[in-house]
Chain A
Amino acid sequence: MLIDFILIPLVKILIIVVLMLLTVSYSVYFERKISAWAQNRIGPNRVGPAGIFQPFADVFKLLFKEDIVPKVANKPLHTLAPILALFVAFTTYAVIPIGPPVEIFGKMINLAVVDVNSGVLLVLALTSLGVYAITFSGWSSGSKYSLLGGVRSSAQMISYEISMGFSVAGVLIFAESLRPSDIISSQSGWMWNAVLQPIGFLTFLTASFAETNRLPFDLPEAEPELVGGYHTEYSSMKFAGFFLAEYANMIIASAMIVMLYLGGWQVPYIETLGLSAGLQASLQIAAFFVKIGALLFFFIWVRWSIPRFRYDQLMDLGWKVMFPLSLLNLVWAAILAMIMN
């Protein structure tokens, strides 16, 4: 009891949090390197060879900065907002399995911190909490730019959440369960949901860009009009909190896309190669991270290639295009499920 429910999860939490922090810092580094590459610049190259210690330098710089809270700000909410943003970013990973169950010291260990039958609902519920972080920060700062950023962002995030929810319903038809490990095992071979329901994949992908406030949907922090958007009045580690949360959310969104649509940790037909159990499991875990890495690259690539939407275009896309498309996908998924059974 104690080992199963406290000790093993604690070890898993520590491993995954360290992994998350490393991926977050290096996705910032890669964002800067890829943007430099896209704009024909050099990018960070001073801290360590090719600038690989730049993320640590950034964090230490922010750590020793003054924490300024504007006089008119609502102080409790102003402090709560970045805590909430980080809380959401560092809890959602809990249900995402990074590999198949493996046997270590004669014990079967599930490579997700929790494997519960409400996994997908949990992720959706937690990510919706992220809206509060941004709304609180926008409203409590007492600055007009922050307020506009916060209000815009809450409208944007809730608009895209609907199409996100309907796209996930299409996946659930094939998985017949809300448990992440069942969703992954329903996509064996090439039966990936991205192949079976491409429309749902596209709507979910687009909605995740909007939910993570990434370009082309980064209106909450559109620099030319809103300075910094909802985090204009944040400095020091509170700013770093939002920054960290944004990148962590990007990683979680990639992991969600991989889990729901790209077969999770599965490698098609790897069982037919007759590899040893350990090697097969490590290849599958590696495949999971390769898929996430490819999606992260895609996130960054899109950011530096596509211009930002206007606010009305963004809302039009969310309600008039994405929403009907995700409904259509649901009907398509049901019809396909009927044909296949």
Chain B
Amino acid sequence: MIETYIPLFLVFGFAIIFAAGTVMSSGLFGPQRPNEEKLSTYESGMKPVGTAFERVSIKYYLVAMLFIIFDLEVIFVYPWAVQFISLYTDPAIGTHAFYSMLLFLVVFEIGFLYVYKKGGFKWD
């Protein structure tokens, strides 16, 4: 039933108006007296050295890639979890519902251990 989602779009609209209104309101009420020192970035009272728009350690990309791989598995588990009891109580399937997912998780865990052995989880 798609119409049950209508209130959700109302919530989205409300949240956008509320969020934008909150953030913009300071421009209306606050003073605007910018100067050179105020507009420089914070660097513990020193003159800023270099910029922050530089290269980021490859480690962070590795974390992001691992996240995508492992989080996809979560999506595979959800439909199974929702259906699990009805699959198990179905005499034609029974414990097969459990073992097939167990096998999936074991394969998944082997992948995890492989990344572990390769040093994918070393953060120094």
Q: Which of A's residues lie within 8 Å of B, judged by CB?
A: 1, 5-6, 9-10, 12-13, 17, 62-73, 79, 82-87, 90-91, 94, 113-116, 121-122, 139, 141-147, 151, 154-155, 158-159, 161-162, 165-166, 169-170, 172-178, 227, 232-233, 235-238, 240-241, 244, 311-312, 315-316, 319-320, 323-324, 327, 330-331, 334-335, 337-338, 341
Contact = CB atoms under 8 A, between A and B. Distances in A.
A71 B86 CA distance: 60
A174 B12 CA distance: 30
Given A66-B30, A114-B8, A233-B42, A142 B53 contact: yes
B31 A66 contact: yes
Contact of A72 (B51, B71, B77): B51
B63 to A, nearest CB: 5
Interface string B35-71: 0001111111000100111001000100110110011
B84 A66 contact: no
Interface in B1-34: 3-8, 10-12, 14-16, 18-20, 22-27, 29-34
Contacts of A142: 41, 51-53
Given A72-B41, A330-B105, A323 B112 contact: yes
B123 A71 contact: no
Interface in B62-110: 63-64, 66-67, 70-71, 74, 77-78, 81-86, 88-89, 95, 98, 101-102, 105, 108-109
Q: What are the 10 A-B residue pairs with the smallest beta carbon separation, nearest first?
A: A9-B7, A86-B19, A237-B26, A236-B26, A165-B74, A172-B81, A158-B67, A143-B41, A90-B15, A312-B123
Contact of B52 (A85, A144, A236, A320): A144
A131 to B, nearest CB: 10
A28 to B, nearest CB: 15
Nearest to B95: A338
A155 B26 contact: no
Chain B, interface residues (CB within 8 Å), range: 35 or more
A287 to B, nearest CB: 25
Interface of B: 3-8, 10-12, 14-16, 18-20, 22-27, 29-34, 38-44, 48, 51-53, 56, 60, 63-64, 66-67, 70-71, 74, 77-78, 81-86, 88-89, 95, 98, 101-102, 105, 108-109, 112, 116, 121, 123-124
Given A64-B29, A151-B56, A241 B22 contact: yes
B42 A227 contact: yes
A238 B26 contact: yes
Q: Which of B4, B51, B123 has the most CB of A within 10 A?
A: B123
- The A contact surface, by secondary structure, is helix
Contacts of B70: 162, 323
Contacts of A154: 60, 64
B81 to A, nearest CB: 4
Contacts of A83: 16, 19-20, 23
B14 to A, nearest CB: 6
A70 B48 CA distance: 12
Nearest to B28: A63
A87 B19 contact: yes
B53 to A, nearest CB: 7
A159 B65 CA distance: 11
Q: Which of B10, B15, B85, B101 has the most CB of A within 10 A?
A: B15
